[in-house]
Amino acid sequence: MGKRLENLENRRKKRKKGVLIALSIFVLFFGAIFIYFQSGLKIFTPESEEITKKTDEMDTSDRENPSPNNPIKPIPEEEVSVTGPKELTIIAVGDILLDRQVGAMIKEHGIDEPFLDVADILSSADITVANLECPLSTRGTKADKEYTFRGDPESALGLKNAGIDILSLANNHSLDFGTEALKDTISTLSEQGIRFSGAGINSSEAFLPATMEIDEKKISFLAFSYIIPNGFFPSSTQAGIAYARAPFELVTQGIKGAKENSDFVIASFHWGIEYEDYPIRSQIELAHLAIDAGADLVVAHHPHVIQGIEIYKNRLIAYSLGDFVFDHYSRKTGEAFILECKINEKKTLEAKAIPVYLTSNGKPQLVVDDEATTILERLKKISKNFGTDMTIEKNEAIIEI
């Protein structure tokens, strides 16, 4: 009997122990579920809502003023909103000769003399471009041609002081004293920080664009010449200038390539018939092709006189800016203008022509009143052929876009 009672007591103890274990597991299980839901769900009581509000305010404060130990992940570039298209102010002028009477003026009065009256304007733009109509060197052999020019290398500092950023070397005088003088020109301009395009010691270098970056805006400048003297065509082993001849594939391909890597592309051409007021058909065709390929602005020179301005697909073409620093012998060749444009990535926004008249020894001077009106009225008249309207006021011509 005692043994039986002992067995019953042992079984009772085992059942009690099993119940306690089961109860403990039950409590732990439902406790875990309760904690999970408490952390994953919000219970919207007045107290919890106030706590949530304070927490959100703290999160906002942390995002606006992150601590060094809790940096905020930057927003991907593609998600950053753009406030508007980038804008660029460009000034363009025509041919610059630093030989003959201009060279004599520099020798007598110094390297800054040719630009004294216009340097402030040239320096005011984001970028200023021109055409350098001579090599800068003391070396080389004179080419077998009627007119040959060569300027003093020290004149390059005068170009820099005047605010000129980029020069076209694509013209019919860059190799007047051969490869040696061209190499000197390239070296001298590089030393002064003046960029250039349109000539090189081989064909690859001749067609390279000049590039600049201003306020995160990348600009490419390409220069080409339709006027090609004997011996000026480049090859893989021979120096020369970037040429623009039909079917113009080298021009359009160069512009397209530059456009893929730039915000803005400026195309410069040396072309046309000397002393004629109007461009010929090939100039118009090439200017349109350049813009179709991606150029945002087309500027040109060579005729020694000004030609008309056209607005094509909301972009400006200046068919000839005339001479800018150049000795001359007639009223017409002394008339020129400074072109100032504001452009964005989609169109020309604003443009104006500031008239200058060159002294007989080639120094550009700002003109006003009747002298200004004479030049601007002629520019207005020859631009009418392209449907371009201008308003002349305060000694400037405002070009209607």
Strands (E), 182-329: 195-197, 199-200, 210-214, 217-225, 240-241, 264-270, 297-301, 309-312, 315-318, 323-325
| Model pLDDT for residues 30-53, shown as the tens digit of each residue | 444 444 434 443 333 333 344 334
Give phi and psi for 160, each to the nearest 5. Answer: -65, -45
Q: Which two tokens stand for residue 253?
A: 């391909």
pTM, two decimal places? 0.80
Helical pair 249-260 and 281-293, crossing angle rounded to 10 deg: 30
Q: What is the pLDDT of residue 48?
A: 36
| Model pLDDT for residues 188-222, shown as the tens digit of each residue | 999 999 999 999 999 999 999 999 999 999 999 99
Smallest CA-to-CA distance from 198 within 244, 261, 246, 258 is with 244
| Model pLDDT for residues 231-253, shown as the tens digit of each residue | 999 999 999 999 999 999 999 99
Angle at 393 between CA 391 and CA 394, to 5 degrees: 155
Smallest CA-to-CA distance from 198 within 211, 209, 212, 213 is with 209
Q: What distances in angstroms separate CA 226 from CA 119, 363, 386, one per listed residue?
A: 29, 27, 22
Task: Indicate the Cα dihedral angle 276, 281, 287, 290, nearest 10°.
Answer: -150
Percent of all residues in the chain with a pLDDT value above 70, rounded to a whole number: 79
Q: What residues in the chain have per-residue pLDDT under 50?
A: 1-8, 14, 16, 19-20, 26-27, 29-83
**What is the spatial distance between Cα 137 and Cα 185, in angstroms, rounded to a whole number?**
6
Domains and CATH numbers, the chain: 88-399 (3.60.21.10)
Residue pair 206/200 in contact (Cβ under 8 Å)? The answer is yes
Residues near 196 by beta carbon (within 8 Å), at least 6 away in sequence: 132, 166, 167, 168, 169, 186, 189, 210, 223
Residue pair 196/164 in contact (Cβ under 8 Å)? The answer is no
Q: Which one-letter amino acid corresponds to residue 197?
A: S
